Structure 1
Amino acid sequence: MSLRQFVIDAWSWLSYKPVMADAGRPGNRAFPELAASWLPPHELRRLAAYKVLAAYDNNQAGQLSAAAGDEAALERRELGDAANLVDTALGYLLGSDQQISVTGAEHADEEAPEPGATEAAAAQERLRKWAEKELLSLRVQQAERNAVLLGDSVYVLAWNQEKQRPTLRVYDPGFFFPQWDDEQDQDFPSRVHLAWELPEDPDTGLKARVRRVTYELGPISEDDESVVRQYPWEPGRPSKMTCYLTDAEWLLEDLKRGESLDRLPMDKAVFRVRPDGTELDRLDLMIDFVPVIHITNSIPDGGEHWGRSAIARVLQGLDELAATDSDSSAASATTGTPIIGLAGARLPVDRSTGKPEHLKVEAGAVWQLGDSGRMDALDTSPQLAELRSRVEHLLDRIASNSRVTAAGLGTMDASEVPSGYAFKLALAPLDALVGAMRLAREHKYRLLFKMAQRLFQAGRAEAWTAGESFSARLAWAPHTPTDRAAVLEEVVQAYGAGVLSLETAVAMLMDAGYPIDDASQEVRRIRAKAEQEAAARMAEAAARRGEPDEEKPEGGSDPAAKSGVAAEREKERVPEPVSAGR
């Protein structure tokens, strides 16, 4: 390899694999789909990387290598270690629960709530109801597994007139083709394609074709640039921009060389039609943003846009592990059924051929040996033990280099941990990994909820009035077990000393894993209970002082409504003493 061929990019960690050398070369059996003429050449390495990672996840890395010419790879043993690493990292990322949190909503139940707190709480409730209807928890699971495995994932929002709410869909990142413009904001492309091939269907007579869905920002009027529009989320700020949607298909046989994804001939396009009969050819969506959110598993390097898979840097370790598992399988075969050498044995003869029969090592077999005969067995158990030790070493190395850690994977022996503090130190790399993964997603989920609110406003949904969008985020549950008793003691002491508010105390309990669904409702219940207890104490104190209970009618005969000597005398049926004036 010359220096001109030495490439360092977002997928350099895959360059060691021969299958990546000519990913887009025609005739490549490993990536036949990448030979499509409509695919942009600069996207081929990314798409090839996605396929390699998916092969590892499905225990098919050996089959992919065999398709590239390595026939020995078919004997490769893959026991699910890659998928286990991905699922473990995903579990720590998501935690036990995710909840939508709107800034300021936690102060809505205070005696003197901050300005805007009540509106924030109402918006939070509406967003949570929308998330429940759109199965947000399920969508997050789908999208985040793609992100953890492939490095990237894609959400797409769209207004559904029939449901009167935004719908949320998850797309494979291999369908995502943003058009970056060096003169514009690199974080938010003004044009995005979602494209994929549709296979031929002989039963219905449909030919192979490519479908492309395009979101593009452009002026409201191409003829008059002075035309502006007032969007409800930016009152008082006219905008000249809007977002256009185009959804069309092209027959693969109609595409010529050079007509790539961004240059497909529009005169050969067949535009899709909505159920209401509207043709999706530059349809004005009446919004000034592209409703597509790109999730990255890691924080991209400067100048890069793509994330990195959780298993990217340990692929060679997974290859070594698969090779060791294959060797272990072969060694276990010779250990369970050993190779035996016989000397001076009388071998039975096949009567039909007259040749000695092959002996088999099986239970109940009897071999006749001569006077000087002997039997020697090949013992491969020491090699098998060494291979098993190597497997444990590789697992520890993979856990360490992926930062999931042996403690996070559950392979650490609990007897080796001297204290809880030592266990916490062992999980420190995992804490840093989860923190970085959540940081990479923080802004993207805020953007998703902002777009959802704006689509509600654009669709003129009830309860969503004009005004700026509320700042909402996706709150993650703790990713590791916490000492709930210690947190509870800390919260009780701090709140009792007056150094923590009730809202902060409840939030700390939620972070510790206590089953609190809604912080504001929990605060409301705690305050209501405190008021009831205070009223009961006041009533009891009033009864002890001999004061009448305001809630009981005067002159009542209930002994509980009286106090002091009067109540005791009534219970004993002793009449009150008559005053001297009577």
Structure 2
Amino acid sequence: MGLRELITDVWSWLDYKPAMADPRRPGRNAWAELTSSWVPDEELRRLAAYRLLAAYDSNQAGQVAAVTGDDDAGVERRELGDASKLVDTALGYLLGSEQTISVAGAEHADDEPTPQAVAALAVQDRLRSWAEKELVPLRVQQAERSAILLGDAVYTLAWEPGKDRVPLCTWDPGLYFPEWPEDGEQDGAEFPTRVHLAWELPEDKRRGLKTRVRRVTYELGPIAPASRRSTVKDGSPTREYLYADDGAPVLVHGDALNTDTGAITRSYPWAPNRPTPWTCYLTDAEWNLEDLTHADFLYDLPLSKATYRIRSDGEVLDRLDLMVDFIPLIHITNSIPASGEHWGKPTVATVLQALDELSATDTDTDSSGASATTGSPIIGLAGARLPIDRATGQPLPVKVRAGTVWQLNDNGRMDVLNTAEQLAELRARVDHVLDRIAANSRLTAAGLGTLDPTALPSGYALQLALGPLDTLVAAMRLARNHKYAVLLRMVQRLHQAGQAEGWPAGESLPARLMWGPHTPTDRAAVLDEVVKGVGAGVLSVETGIRMLIDAGYPIDDVREEIERIQARAFEAAARLADATGDNAAVREYLGLPPADPELTPVPLIDVPRGSGRTEDGA
């Protein structure tokens, strides 16, 4: 490879694989002939990386190595799921014990029932109800495993009139093709203004369908006039824009026309006082693969040959106005992209060569042979009287069995080939490679469960051993926090645009996806800390309860748990009575109903100083 052929980009860690050769030179890329002409050349390198990573996850890396000429003996390798274990382990630590949707201010709805807190609690309840119906924890796990394995994951949201809610869908990132400005000045943290989800549909002979290319396109553009379903000459569905007899555009209810500029503006429910001229259009179409030429790339497929699909409510998906001013698609990256980059880095990226080394060492012919000869050793006999085959007159093959006896001559001997030392050396090599993988992936030996617990003298030593894992999880969650906040904001706005019941107009409230603790917690230590802190008055009961919840105690609701505690806190109620002299406040503290006004109140005795009564009333 010459210096001119050296590629340095987000996929450079895979350059040692022949399958990552220059996609414009098919002779050097074994997968070039498997990629259709509609895929742009600049995307082939990314798709080749996804294929390789998927092969590692499914124990097919050896087969890929054999096909691409990287290792002729790759088919004979036995892969034991090490790559898949790394991915699943990282996924477990990223997700934590649970994921919870939280809206800022909702925690004050009980003790400070301000209108803002009540509204935040209502939005939080609606989002959690939506998440339960849409199986959001399952969708998150699907997408995040893809992000950890491939470096990227994709969510889409759309208003579904039949369900009266917003479905959440996950997509293979290999189907995701964003369009970025040609000037290259857009920052990697920004969102594209046009994205495609594209894939091939196989031939279906029973239905008479040929091989097709399906492309779903989201695009931000100026607001157009109202439209309706129509058909072209061959009967295919299409969309027709409406104009009045005088040529003026027919507007959707709520839109306004600027007669000076000719631009149409719209006020969305989440920004009623900020009219905007932008909206998002959805196009879902198919092309017969045989109708496309080598000049027809994904980004500019001929619309004259397209067949548009129809939504469940009869709408033709030909630049359908979604009535939102954003693209309802979220691209998740596993890591924080480098400046100017848009793609994430898989967890196994930096240790991929170590996984190859582990596979070669663990399943090498020498290792297998050493294992076989150690269990069934090779024995050399000299001066032995071997049984003779009476038919041929030749010695019969000798087999070692329990209780076998050989008669040896006076100078006879038996030598045993011992390969245990070689086998032990190979196993030590495997352990060394595993330790290197644990360290370089930052999952650590303690995180992977390969560390001997007796090797750690204390819990503090375990905490230090898990330090790299903590920083890894923190970086992975930092790369995702903003994306999930945007996703939950989109969920609110799509429900508002669909005029769903219970979603009033107004600015979207900030919501977050809260991750559970990723490492085990010393529950006894947390409980002791809460008891001391609350008892000393340096922690509130609310804070203590939240600490217990984070530690894994089975507490469902903070407010209800506090009420149960106070209902039995008679000593605290006595101190409240001494401090305030208010019997009604004491009854409210204990959760008791107001006292019957016909009952005579019990007078509180004022004890003079020096009477021997202590400060706590004893």
Specify if TM > 0.5.
Answer: yes
Q: CA deviation at 1:72?
A: 0.5
Alignment partner, residue 256 of structure 1: 293
1:131-210 to structure 2, matched below 5 A, reads: 131-181=131-181, 182=184, 184=186, 186=188, 187-210=190-213
Q: CA deviation at 1:516?
A: 2.8
Alignment partner, residue 616 of structure 2: none
Q: Secondary structure, in 3 states, of the residue corresponding to 1:160?
A: coil
Alignment partner, residue 551 of structure 1: 596
Q: CA deviation at 1:401?
A: 0.8
1:84-95 to structure 2, matched below 5 A, reads: 84-95=85-96
* 1:60 matched to 2:60: yes
* 1:444 matched to 2:444: no
1:56-455 to structure 2, matched below 5 A, reads: 56-69=56-69, 70-110=71-111, 112-114=112-114, 116-181=116-181, 182=184, 184=186, 186=188, 187-221=190-224, 226-327=263-364, 328-344=367-383, 358-361=397-400, 372-455=411-494
- Cα distance between partner residues in 2 of 1:541 and 1:282: 68
Query: Retained in 1: the 8 A contact 2:62–2:77?
Result: yes
- Cα distance between partner residues in 2 of 1:402 and 1:283: 45
Q: CA deviation at 1:249?
A: 1.2
Count of aligned pairs between the two proteins: 552
Q: Which amino acid aligns with 2:102?
A: S
- Cα distance between partner residues in 2 of 1:532 and 1:219: 68
Query: Retained in 1: the 8 A contact 2:187–2:339?
Result: no
Q: Secondary structure, in 3 states, of the residue corresponding to 1:174?
A: helix
Q: 1:433 to 1:562 in 2, by over 3 A?
A: closer
Alignment partner, residue 3 of structure 2: 3
- Cα distance between partner residues in 2 of 1:317 and 1:78: 13
Q: CA deviation at 1:232?
A: 0.5
Query: Retained in 1: the 8 A contact 2:187–2:340?
Result: no
Q: CA deviation at 1:352?
A: 7.6
Q: CA deviation at 1:362?
A: 5.1
Q: 1:90 to 1:156 in 2, by over 3 A?
A: same
| Larger CA deviation: 365-374 vs 72-81 | 365-374
Query: Retained in 2: the 8 A contact 1:225–1:240?
Result: no
Partner of residue 476 from structure 1, selected from 503, 507, 515: 515
Q: 1:47 to 1:541 in 2, by over 3 A?
A: closer
Q: 1:427 to 1:33 in 2, by over 3 A?
A: farther
Q: Which amino acid aligns with 1:431?
A: D
- Cα distance between partner residues in 2 of 1:239 and 1:377: 87
- Cα distance between partner residues in 2 of 1:55 and 1:401: 21
- Cα distance between partner residues in 2 of 1:114 and 1:44: 55
Q: CA deviation at 1:49?
A: 1.0
- Cα distance between partner residues in 1 of 2:458 and 2:452: 13
Q: Which amino acid aligns with 1:414?
A: P
Q: Secondary structure, in 3 states, of the residue corresponding to 1:43?
A: helix
Q: CA deviation at 1:374?
A: 3.9
- Cα distance between partner residues in 2 of 1:406 and 1:94: 19
Q: CA deviation at 1:11?
A: 1.1
- Cα distance between partner residues in 2 of 1:251 and 1:346: 78
Q: CA deviation at 1:51?
A: 1.2
Q: 1:261 to 1:365 in 2, by over 3 A?
A: farther
Deviations 1:488-536 (A, max 9, x none): 2333333344444444333322222222334455456556776998499
- Cα distance between partner residues in 2 of 1:45 and 1:357: 60
Identity score, percent: 65
- Cα distance between partner residues in 1 of 2:550 and 2:378: 59
- Cα distance between partner residues in 2 of 1:37 and 1:520: 61
Deviations 1:142-188 (A, max 9, x none): 11111111111111111111111110011111111111123556421
Q: Secondary structure, in 3 states, of the residue corresponding to 1:137?
A: helix
Gaps of 5+ in 1: 543-548, 556-560, 564-582
Q: Which amino acid aligns with 2:4?
A: R
- Cα distance between partner residues in 1 of 2:553 and 2:564: 15
Deviations 1:433-481 (A, max 9, x none): 1111111110011011000000110011112111111110011111111
Q: Secondary structure, in 3 states, of the residue corresponding to 2:159?
A: strand
Q: 1:552 to 1:230 in 2, by over 3 A?
A: closer
Q: 1:349 to 1:264 in 2, by over 3 A?
A: farther
Gaps of 5+ in 2: 226-248, 250-260, 584-593, 604-618
- Cα distance between partner residues in 1 of 2:273 and 2:33: 50
- Cα distance between partner residues in 2 of 1:242 and 1:160: 18
Alignment partner, residue 545 of structure 1: none
1:19-34 to structure 2, matched below 5 A, reads: 19-21=19-21, 26=26, 31=31, 34=34
Query: Retained in 1: the 8 A contact 2:83–2:348?
Result: yes
- Cα distance between partner residues in 2 of 1:501 and 1:367: 84
Q: 1:33 to 1:521 in 2, by over 3 A?
A: farther
Q: TM-score, normalised by structure 2?
A: 0.82
Query: Retained in 1: the 8 A contact 2:555–2:561?
Result: yes
Q: Which amino acid aligns with 2:65?
A: S
